[in-house]
């Protein structure tokens, strides 16, 4: 089974470390795991590459690079042909869902890694992304949470 993880970056945050741990363990067990990052260059990339995990990037060029990014991501993922596309964090979750028309036989999995988010401390765009994610949460094939508290995120 080919599993592709999708995440905005491989900086050293909590979700990124969870993804790295899972990808390394899958590779250790002989599974094919690939990580796709919006932008390359994060601190966790080198250890993952050292563990034999392929890291790919459609090189998102900024906030306004939406259509081009989606097209590059679709082309990259069609070439990889994953059985499962497992996204981490809201923007990656939405990007993964946008791949459904291009990856008809791929299962889309969302990873929800936050609970009790103070949306007031984020900008308008982030609040919009969280709201859209909440509205579309019934569309992926599976939504995984990393805590009981994360199962319920109030509006």
Q: Which stretches of the chain score pLDDT less than 50?
A: 154-155
H-helix or E-strand containing 108? strand 107-112
pLDDT of residue 32: 87
In our burial notation (b when 16+ CB lie closer than 10 A, e otherwise), range 99-135 reads beeebeebebbbbbbbeeeeeeeeeeeeeebbeebee
pLDDT of residue 155: 43
pLDDT of residue 115: 57
As given in the structure block, the two tokens for residue 70 are 């989606």
pLDDT of residue 154: 43
pLDDT of residue 43: 93
pLDDT of residue 123: 72
pLDDT of residue 17: 94
Q: DSSP class of residue 129? A: H
pLDDT of residue 74: 98
pLDDT of residue 129: 83
């Amino acid at each position: 089974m080919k599993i592709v993880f999708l995440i905005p970056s491989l900086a050293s945050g909590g979700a990124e470390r969870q993804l790295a741990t899972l990808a390394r363990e899958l590779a250790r067990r002989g599974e094919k795991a690939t990580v796709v990052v919006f932008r390359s260059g994060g601190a966790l990339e080198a250890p993952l590459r050292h563990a034999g995990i392929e890291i790919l990037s459609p090189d998102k060029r900024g906030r306004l690079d939406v259509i081009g990014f989606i097209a590059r991501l679709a082309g990259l993922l069609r070439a990889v042909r994953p059985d499962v596309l497992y996204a981490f964090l809201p923007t990656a979750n939405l990007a993964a869902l946008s791949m459904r028309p291009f990856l008809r036989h791929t299962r889309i999995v969302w990873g929800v890694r936050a609970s009790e988010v103070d949306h007031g401390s984020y900008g308008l765009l982030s609040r919009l992304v969280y709201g859209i994610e909440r509205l579309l949460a019934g569309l992926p094939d599976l939504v995984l949470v990393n805590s009981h508290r994360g199962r319920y995120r109030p509006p």
